[in-house]
Amino acid sequence: MRPTRFHRSLRFKMISALVAILVLSTVVFYYLQATYHRRQLINNLEESSTHYLSNVIKSSLRHAMLRRDLEETRNIMRAVNEQQEVANIFLVNKRGEVMVSTDGIGNKRLFALSEPKCMICHQIEE
């Protein structure tokens, strides 16, 4: 009986198939992990940047609001609203009522501050 070459043997074929399956599954797993973590990173960045932007806006408006200078408050809000990333700004009191908005149509509208979109910027302190 003539010996078969190793690369033609059943043992080689089984080992090759097993290695191929392991490599393929590892590549798929790492791709899914990378995609998931990338999505998580982008979501976290959006949330933290929204919170940071909210803090910047609140800090900018603090002085004008303490002086009850409504015109200066509107000017600051318009200047911030000119940024490409900002769609609209609402100045909301503790009851959730819009006192000033950059579009003008939001005034006297009522928001529930317990909504997830509101809670990103406004951590409710009760």
> How far is Cα 68 from Cα 82, in angstroms, rounded to an integer?
23
Assess if residue 88 is contained within a domain: yes
Assess if residue 1 is contained within a domain: no
Q: How many domains does the chain have?
A: 1
Assess if residue 114 is contained within a domain: yes
Q: Is the model's pLDDT at 1 over the cut of 60?
A: no
Tokens, residue 66:
């303490």
- Structure confidence by residue, pLDDT tens digits, 30-59: 999 999 999 998 888 777 777 777 777 778
How far CA 117 is from CA of 53, 80, 90, 113, in Å, comes to: 14, 19, 13, 8
Q: Is the model's pLDDT at 120 over the cut of 70?
A: no
Domain, as residue range, for 50: 9-119
Q: Report phi then psi at 8, rounded to 5.
A: -105, 0
Q: Is the model's pLDDT at 115 over the cut of 70?
A: yes
Assess if residue 51 is contained within a domain: yes
What secondary structure letter does DSSP report for 7?
Answer: G
Question: Percent of the chain beyond pLDDT 70?
Answer: 86
Q: The pTM is what?
A: 0.46
